[in-house]
Amino acid sequence: MKRISIVGTGSYLPEKILSNYDIEKFLDTSDEWIYTRTGIKQRRIAENGLATSDLCKVACERAMEMAGVKAENIDLIVLATITPDTHCPAGANWLEAKLKCKNAVSFDITAACTGFIFALHVAVHLIKSGANKTALVVAGEIMSRVVNWKERESCILWGDGAGACVITDSKDGAEILSTHIHTDGENGDTLLMPGGGSKTTPISHESVDRGLHYLKMIEANKSFKVAVNRFAEACEEAVRFNNVKMEDIDLIVPHQANLRIIQGMAKKLNFPMEKVYLTIEKYGNISSATVPIALDEAVRDGTIKKGNLVLLTAFGGGLTWGSSLIRW
């Protein structure tokens, strides 16, 4: 079997910071209320004029620089996003053009917060099949433009940013030991954007006035319990598949949905929080982009060391969940 490796990582966060104290100025809430329920202190917000592909471009360039590959070396771009520049053409097509990756085929993956792991899964198997050689796996979101900033329970969660990695068939780099993805379409209505699709076509003043084009979270308590269980199941599947134990894992890099969900996952796995990498306090929930952003940060700050077993895990709307085990 081919050894598929991560040979470079990169990320980009917009410069603008929106703190809980800033939100206090226009919502009936407080820093304490937000932080105790979510673990979030601030989030990044993309400036007007920037599109998701712009954030992804910087993240990809940084990953390519670390990997030592040029645009012409990339033959596959898989972009995970629920906030593409446009629904047609795909966000990945815009990104391909901006990166000048003329030898690449590009397409989007829509799997909400699990999107990066879904994109990684697809790219790994395309390279294993021989269809492609070197891929950019990227996730980017501008969540600040799809939430209702009058809905206190939801808008406080989200932020903007992008993360990426270069993967290829190589004996060098971090070996991707396995990827695992799952869906449950029957329970996909707990996190959804009701408008904008064929179900509500054509888009009308009425659909906009009713707020159907904002991301909505329904039955948050139910989602919390399901998320904890799915997070844990995905981790257990990855270690079981690779014939290792949870105590062998050096670091878990989870989707940064909510601090209490992450703590619940760690408790269920009997895994120490000291070995769980967190970015939620400073970046919030960036949907599909949280995992690659946290992964890149952990690589660059030295948290991840050569030989470490690193476990990625995520849960999101769809419902979707998944994991990946990597030997650094």
Q: What's the CATH number where 84 sits?
A: 3.40.47.10
Q: Are 254 and 265 in contact (CB under 8 A)?
A: yes
> Do residues 183 and 167 both lie within one domain?
no
Active site residue 285: yes
pLDDT tens for the chain, 328 residues long, are 789 999 999 999 999 999 999 999 999 999 999 999 999 999 999 999 999 999 999 999 999 999 999 999 999 999 999 999 998 999 999 999 999 999 999 999 999 999 999 999 999 999 999 999 999 999 999 999 988 888 888 899 999 999 999 999 999 999 999 999 999 988 766 666 666 777 766 677 777 777 666 666 665 556 778 889 999 999 999 999 999 999 999 999 999 999 999 999 999 999 999 999 999 999 999 999 999 999 999 999 999 999 999 999 999 888 999 999 999 9
Instruction: Determine the Cα–Cα distance for residues 282 and 213; give it in Å rounded to an integer.
Output: 27
Range of 69's domain? 4-172
The SS3 call for residue 130 is: coil
Where among 172, 193, 220 does a domain terminate?
172
Nearest to 18 by CA among 44, 50, 40, 37: 44
- Phi, psi angles (nearest 5°) of residue 321: -155, 160
Tokens 């995992």 belong to 291
> Which amino acid type is present at position 265?
M
> Do residues 14 and 121 both lie within one domain?
yes
Of the residues 93, 132, 255, 258, only one is catalytic, namely 255
- Phi, psi angles (nearest 5°) of residue 314: -155, 160
Q: H or E element: which one contains 205?
A: helix 205-209
> Do residues 72 and 216 both lie within one domain?
no
Where among 172, 194, 222 does a domain terminate?
172
> Do residues 150 and 238 both lie within one domain?
no
Q: H or E element: which one contains 265?
A: helix 259-269
How many Cβ atoms are within 10 Å of 176's Cβ, its own excluded? 23
Helix, strand, coil % over all residues of the chain, rounded to 5: 40, 25, 35
Residues counted in the chain? 328
Domain total for the chain?
A: 2
Tokens 């226009």 belong to 26
> Do residues 145 and 200 both lie within one domain?
no
Active site residue 121: no
Active site residue 155: no
> Do residues 12 and 29 both lie within one domain?
yes
Of the residues 60, 113, 165, 235, only one is catalytic, namely 113
pTM of the predicted model over 0.75: yes
> Do residues 116 and 183 both lie within one domain?
no
Of the residues 20, 132, 258, 285, only one is catalytic, namely 285
Nearest to 39 by CA among 156, 120, 149, 188: 156
How many Cβ atoms are within 10 Å of 307's Cβ, its own excluded? 9
Nearest to 229 by CA among 268, 255, 199: 268
